[in-house]
Chain A
Amino acid sequence: MYAKNTVIIGSSTGGFRIVGRIFSNLPKLNAGVIVVQHMLKSVNEPFKEKLNRNTQMEVKIAEDGDFLEYGKVYVAPSGYQLKIVKDRKIGLFSDGKVNAVRPSIDVTMRSVKFKSSSEDQIIGVILTGMGKDGVEGIRHIKRSGGITIAQDEDTSIIYGIPKAAYEAGVVSFALTPEKIRDKLIELCGITKDRY
């Protein structure tokens, strides 16, 4: 079943711990969640496992052709650009690096095309990290009518990308990881299905 709510979380240096905090005690959201974390391939599995352990959502490494289903978390694998293609499917592309990274948060967020019904919600979250990958993505989501969240300064391991997004004026909320979790629950709601 297609998710009415789509959440894209972009994260860079320090994300291992921060995304971990967001997913800690995260119930099964009524949303399809994509996590784009700047990391080496060797960390993909540890990262996925860390998230999966603490949340009721089903976490997996994204594969080409996956449908964006509710209650599920798709982690972008290193070495590919992840885009949401037709019919809410995930596509992995061997395109070049964007902003010197692959996967690039901008690429994923900007691939989102809206909104077939007004009940749909797109939520973009940008977390700790250095540089600017994710700023344009967040801007795109904001401009398309979505909700954008940036991590606050205090808890950001490196307050670079969230700061840039915040100062660009494209951020709806600046929150701590725990509050981000709460916000996602508030916006998407919880599904009754037990995993």
Chain B
Amino acid sequence: MKDRTLKGGFSIAFKLFFVLLFLILVLTGTTTFFVYVGSKEALREDMSSHLVDLATTTALMVDVDKHSQLDVGDENTGNYKEIRAVLQSVKAVNPKIDDIYTMVRSDEENIWLFVVDTHESKQIGAELTTTSHFYDPLMESALEHPVAGEEIMEWGSFKAMAPIYNSNGTAVAILDVDVCVEEEVEDFRAFRDYWLDLVKSTAQKIDGDNHSQLKIGDENSDTYREIKTILESVVAENPEIEDISTMVKSEDGAWFYIVDVYAMTPEIGEEYDVSPYPEMQLAFEGPIADEEITMDKWGVWLSAYAPIYDKRGTAVAILGIDMDVGHVLAAEKRLRSIIAIIFLGALLLSMIISILFARHFTRPIDQLKFGTSRVIRGDLSHRIESDRKDEFGELATAFNHMTVSLQEHIEKLKERTTEVEKLLRHKDDFITQLGHDLKTPLTPLVALLPTMEKREKDPELKELLEVTIHNVNYMKDLVIKTLQLARLTSPDVELIIEDINLLQKVNDVIKSEKFIFKKKDIKVENKINGKIIVTADKLRLEELFSNLITNAVKFTPDGGGTITIDAKKDEDFVTISVKDTGIGMTGKQLEHIFEAFYKVDESRHELDSSGLGLSICKRIVEKHGGKIWAESPGKGMGTTFYFTLKSG
């Protein structure tokens, strides 16, 4: 029973599960998808437009005349510094902005030239955010021992760090070197070792005590300049260095720059290939922001550009702003994980709901299935328990009513059957007793009368005795046949059913009865097809044919006649006919012919018939599941008896 429950419950649960899952997923999916996309869009839109506005505004702040005069090498000119200061002021109020710069077109297509760039070394106390591409988790262990990257990162970045100790031996800061390699490094091990040694030795050169004293605004202090000089000399010897700095970690785990040297500020006239940036190319026509977030060696950016117009209204340069959107991406990533969690939750939820739901429906169905199987096995006492008030509850109640009713009916039937069987047994006992009681007085009669007749000398008495003998024999015959007939209806009589070749069987019977045919000069024709097989009890079949044939003979007058036996096979049964050319029968006679003790002729002695032969035939045929009937055109025109048997 157990696995039946599982099987049934499982398949509906499955179906429900998938349906629910599908629905829930579709629902949550579409909602979150739209929410996500929408919010992402909105966010980005917002960011972009904000950035574009900023770029436009900043562009207006640039003194276009002074800008146009700048030439290569003019980094120290007043104009440069002025414009730079303006840009830096904008940067200062927008901490997410990483760089503001101006560019002009060159003679080559898609090669632009930097003019003013605000990349610079950080002031004391500038925070290194974890989203900055300069941040590396390695830094956390840099206070304990020198560390370096295990590999060269994307875009050629490589980092090495070493602790800076004070006189007590405590690590108070780290020295951080960010390298940018453009060519492939063949021997990474050597490369790494070189930089590790370099940071180690450079860190040692720095006085930790002095370093600890530096505060915000101390950029002009001697300590500051001293340390800066050390750093600058390292940069001079190693052009791959992008940035070298000392950093401290605050109590709450944030990193701050102390002394920083940024080595990759673009010089005026430095070339820049803008072919990857279609929006940039359009910037001369109007303010525009990048469609896509850019990911390059400096991190994750969103950029906006605005044209710088001269007095005649011609766009002569571009103002670009790069904003660090790492935080946005991080936020988007978080959003995606939330969505994933929601999806999983939906999966789990739908699974649970569908199982519970399914069980709710399949449990009563299983109860019903189980109940039915028990009933099939005959256990009508089984009841389905259900305290539900819905249609299933009603079904359970109906089922229980049904089985109760069935039980009652079957009990009644059983009683009836027992009664009937009892009666049949009584009948059988009665018949056995009757048989004995009838045969007992018959025995001396049958045995003694012939003896008496033999001894009797008086011819008159002899004739009377002959009459007596004839009648006693008749009675004996009657008793035997009656008992036989009664026994045929007994439930204990068994038929031994087998396949019998009809032609052969009939020939056997004809052979054994041939004496009576000869006596009356009757011809017998057996027209049965040799291939016909019937399923019947062999002995009863012989009895059947014997009775029918002797009947046919009996009712054919002296002087000859023909008996024809034939058979016709249909799909499932065979119809056999025994036809005679005898005295025939009227309609009335045909009606009663199969009744027990019915005789067509009242003078029974003449024809010496007990009237039982045909009723015995009927019993035999019916016991085999067939039908028997007779047809006659009329008196004097013969009779045909038909009966059906199952074909083999």
State the A residues within 8 Å of B (CB): 152-154, 166-167, 174
Contact = CB atoms under 8 A, between A and B. Distances in A.
A154 B539 CA distance: 8
A132 B124 CA distance: 121
Contacts of B538: 174
7 contacts: A152-B539, A153-B539, A154-B539, A154-B542, A166-B496, A167-B496, A174-B538
A152 B543 CA distance: 13
Interface string B345-373: 00000000000000000000000000000
Contacts of B496: 166-167
A152 B539 CA distance: 8
B267 to A, nearest CB: 115
Contacts of A153: 539
Nearest to A154: B539
Interface in B202-241: none
A174 B538 CA distance: 10
A166 B494 CA distance: 14
Interface string B522-554: 000000000000000011001000000000000
Contacts of A166: 496
Contacts of A167: 496
Interface of B: 496, 538-539, 542
Nearest to A178: B512
Nearest to B508: A179
Nearest to B494: A167
A153 B538 CA distance: 10
Contacts of A174: 538
A186 to B, nearest CB: 15
A174 B508 CA distance: 13
In the A-B complex, the 7 residue pairs with the smallest Cβ-Cβ separation, listed nearest first, are A153-B539, A154-B539, A152-B539, A174-B538, A166-B496, A167-B496, A154-B542
A167 B537 CA distance: 13
A152 B498 CA distance: 14
A166 B496 CA distance: 10
A153 B539 CA distance: 8
A143 to B, nearest CB: 20
A180 to B, nearest CB: 14
Nearest to B512: A176
A94 B539 CA distance: 41
A127 to B, nearest CB: 16
A146 B398 CA distance: 63
A100 B538 CA distance: 32
Nearest to B542: A154
A175 to B, nearest CB: 10
A56 B620 CA distance: 42
Contacts of A154: 539, 542
Contacts of B542: 154
A70 to B, nearest CB: 30
A152 B496 CA distance: 12
A88 to B, nearest CB: 35
A11 to B, nearest CB: 20
Contacts of A152: 539
B537 to A, nearest CB: 10
Contacts of B539: 152-154
A127 B580 CA distance: 37
B495 to A, nearest CB: 12
A32 B283 CA distance: 128
A91 B496 CA distance: 39
B172 to A, nearest CB: 109
A155 to B, nearest CB: 10
A167 B542 CA distance: 19
A157 B542 CA distance: 19
A32 to B, nearest CB: 30
A154 B537 CA distance: 13
A153 B541 CA distance: 13
A6 to B, nearest CB: 28
A170 B496 CA distance: 14
Nearest to A166: B496
A182 to B, nearest CB: 11
Nearest to B537: A153
B492 to A, nearest CB: 14
Nearest to A153: B539
A154 B496 CA distance: 14
A33 B161 CA distance: 120
Nearest to A179: B508
A152 to B, nearest CB: 7
Nearest to B538: A174
B542 to A, nearest CB: 8
A114 B539 CA distance: 33
A136 B539 CA distance: 24
A153 B493 CA distance: 13
A154 B542 CA distance: 10
A154 to B, nearest CB: 6
Nearest to B543: A154
